Chains A and B, each alone.
Chain A
Amino acid sequence: MTALQYIVDGIALGAVYALVAVGLALVFGVMRLVNFAHGELITAAAYTLYLTSSWPKVFACAISLLVAVGLALLMELVIFRRLRYATPATALVTTFAVAFALEAVWLIAFGPQGKSADVLSSLNRTATHGSLHIRWVTITMVGVGAVLLAGTGLLLNRTRIGLEMRAAAADFRAARLLGVRANRVIGTAFLLGGLFAGVVALLLTATQPLVTPTFGLQITILALVGVVVGGMDRLVSATLGGFAIGFVNSLLGDVLPSSQGVFLTSFLYLLVIVVLVLRPGGVFVPGGASARVERV
């Protein structure tokens, strides 16, 4: 394993984490809501992949994406719509409750044992180029991540709905007073979040086909940490934060000897605390070290 290998692997994992981060940040931007239950969208898509694993691959993937998007929109309609005017603390804890309730649903429906969703595991094959061994899945992660992130950028900057979303993220009430439809903007954020969660599920099952009730939880927690560390208030800094955490996670996982590897989680969390204390506005935000007016 060469240094280049580590870096490429890091970029791939970073790209996946970035996709989770974007989903979280889009919803946070328009609603000021941190959705702990985002990970359940990933788990839902992964279990759908398991259920459809005997179908033609294209259909299996498409249905899984649809389920993630559908669940996201359902969450918004049934639960989060009512939280729009609640205190941020209440909203936060509610998403926590939703996450646990959904996890219980997976537990009841599929049991604690993992289920195998190996629809895309063929991507795990290696392509060799000189001394570089790259798995197809790594290339796919980087490629898909880049395309989706670029697409999001285009959507936000060049389309009307994107403009409305950016305005709503800056000043929701003023945006509504101009005629921006709250439901449409929030719905779009959840739709994109769900879509990206589904894509993340597809990418993750390629390397880890075993789906358990906590499948999406771990990556979501870390991605959320990355978002906060990068800077929640802006999409770019939030996504960079997600990417950075994924990158560091992969790198440290490769570089640290396995005996110390078990404490990797602690290193990352410690990093989070250090960053939050020293630069609470976010690492990737200019002027992030200065105290902000607390929004939450």
Chain B
Amino acid sequence: MSDASPALAVSGLEVRYGGVAAVRDVSLEVGRGEIVGLVGPNGAGKSSTLMAIMGAVSPSAGDVLMGGRSIRGMRSEDIARSGIALVPEGRHIFSNLSVRENLRLGLVGRRESNGVAKDLDWIQTLFPVVKDFADRHAAALSGGQQQQLAIARALLAKPDILILDEPSLGLAPVVVQAVWEALAEINRQGVTILLVEQRAQITVSFCSRTYVMSNGQIRMTLTPGDADNTERMVSAYFAS
């Protein structure tokens, strides 16, 4: 793994469902230690891009590279064990399991067997709900708490890259704020983050770079300075 290559790169990606191309010629990069955003309206192809990265869906063209090495065609469980963790849209908590058990599943993708206790401590400081509700059924948690559990679970795998698909979906603003503060802290600890969101303005001001996607293609790249430029934001969203 060369240090010059980005942590995660996608080039010329195309994802098709039947005859329809949900993702066309998409290229993006996430540098080591960066927080990069990906925004766009519903149906833009953001989730499909993530699914292709994680190997859950097979791209019809293009490549996915992690640290310069191609991971296209790898099974999703193997990708998850290589240092990428995904917090999927809708959280996908296992509601039949307890919070503690959900968390334990995060260990499956972990590459280092040492340091679990230390990492767990840090995660519990970040997301106290995980400790307080340890033995409760995950289904008993509120949406915001489940989101925190999902991120905690992903963190326990000690990934190099953390990908989040719309973590603020359906959450109250105050909870969203807490989640994003946690993400900032996580990034400060050295984890590279790719953040997919629908809420453009807040994402653009938070991430060092944000790609704008619509209709299956990347339209432009925005920086925090663009966050207040309403015209630019609007044109990004409605580009065809």
Contacts and interface: CB of A to CB of B under 8 A. Distances in A.
Contact between chain A and chain B defined by CB under 8 Å: yes
Interface in A17-71: none
Contact of B86 (A166, A177, A180): A177
B105 A176 contact: no
A176 B80 contact: yes
Given A176-B56, A176-B80, A167 B97 contact: yes
Given A173-B56, A174-B94, A178-B153, A163 B76 contact: no
Contact of B108 (A166, A171, A180, A182): A180
B94 A180 contact: no
Contacts of B88: 174, 177
Contacts of B81: 179
Interface of A: 160, 163-164, 166-167, 169-171, 173-182
A226 to B, nearest CB: 22
12 contacts: A167-B94, A170-B94, A170-B97, A174-B88, A174-B92, A176-B75, A176-B77, A177-B54, A177-B77, A178-B106, A178-B109, A181-B77
Contacts of A166: 94, 96-97, 101
How many interface residues does chain B have, given as a range? 20 to 34
Contact of B157 (A171, A175, A176, A179): A179
A160 B108 CA distance: 9
Contacts of A182: 75, 77
Nearest to B156: A178
B77 A163 contact: no
A129 B139 CA distance: 50
* Residue from B105, B106, B157 having most chain A Cβ neighbours under 10 A: B105
Contacts of B54: 177
Contacts of A177: 54, 56, 76-77, 80, 86, 88, 92
Nearest to A173: B56
Contact of B80 (A164, A170, A178): A178
Contacts of B101: 163, 166
